[in-house]
Structure 1
Amino acid sequence: MTITDLHCDHCDRFVSAPDAGVRFVYHPGRAQFRDSSGLLCAPCWDELEQWLGQDRPLRQCAVCREQVTREQSLHVHRVDDAQAWRLCGRHTVEFLNGLRTVEPKLDSATFRFPAQE
């Protein structure tokens, strides 16, 4: 996938050089639904890694340790690292709604995009 917007998906800072940011992937447990166009500036990636933690527990949310299944969790990882963190529904909404590129925002109560009227 080609990235044409070189701004951080979180803070909108222009990522001016390859080492100034991190490309990342996220998907709902099925690789065919993955989005590999994620881009965070280095400070935002560092903040995300701090929130997710060092270890990447299997079948658990990286943030709260709630049990999750493979296909009922969001998988997040660097493009150059296949080992993913998993997020439960609540933390998936928090992560996705924190990305400026996700519109419309997810409803935290229903875990769905708002219905189009």
Structure 2
Amino acid sequence: MTVSDLRCDHCARAVPGPADGRRFVYHPGRAQFRDSSGLLCVPCWDELAGWLGPDRPLRRCAVCGETVTREQCLHVHPLEDPQTWRLCARHAVEFLNGLHTVEPKLDPADFRFPGAG
């Protein structure tokens, strides 16, 4: 793969170089499910960061403030920064379904985090 083949995972815009995009990681609290191949163009990253907010509250969804546990939320963070935003199931589905790389799309009514009882 060459740099010219890279596309934003949200809008599919070409990301020609490192300054034009942000790499990100997401996982449901378990290392074996970690995906570190996320890429957003700068405008989509800025939109995501605005949606998530400036704070990264511990044990709370960054969007709605719902209490979450480590393995019952989606962790999202820039590749170079290990501090995560956490998303509850509803907002995790919204985030994941907004990525072109997630197929098939998740059904919010049936979505469960891995390891859920």
Q: TM-score, normalization: structure 1?
A: 0.91
Q: Which residue is 1:54 aligned to?
A: 54
Gapped regions of structure 1 (runs ≥ 5): 113-117
Within 5 Å, give how 1:36-115 maps onto structure 2: 36-111=36-111
Q: CA deviation at 1:33?
A: 1.2
Q: CA deviation at 1:3?
A: 8.4
Gapped regions of structure 2 (runs ≥ 5): 113-117
User: Distance in 1 between the 2:104 and 2:13 partners?
Assistant: 21
Deviations 1:7-50 (A, max 9, x none): 00000000011010000000000122100000000000000000
User: Distance in 2 between the 1:19 and 1:74 partners?
Assistant: 26
AA aligned to 2:63 is V
AA aligned to 2:91 is H
User: Distance in 1 between the 2:19 and 2:94 partners?
Assistant: 26
Equivalent pairs, count? 111
User: Distance in 2 between the 1:70 and 1:46 partners?
Assistant: 25
User: Distance in 2 between the 1:60 and 1:15 partners?
Assistant: 32
User: Distance in 2 between the 1:102 and 1:75 partners?
Assistant: 16
AA aligned to 1:98 is G
Q: Is the 8 A contact 1:3 1:37 kept in 2?
A: no
What secondary structure is seen at the aligned counterpart in 2 of 1:70? Answer: coil
Q: CA RMSD, aligned part only?
A: 1.5
User: Distance in 2 between the 1:29 and 1:3 partners?
Assistant: 31
Query: Where does structure 1 differ by over 6 angstroms across 4 or more consecutive aligned residues?
Result: none
Q: Which residue is 2:20 aligned to?
A: 20
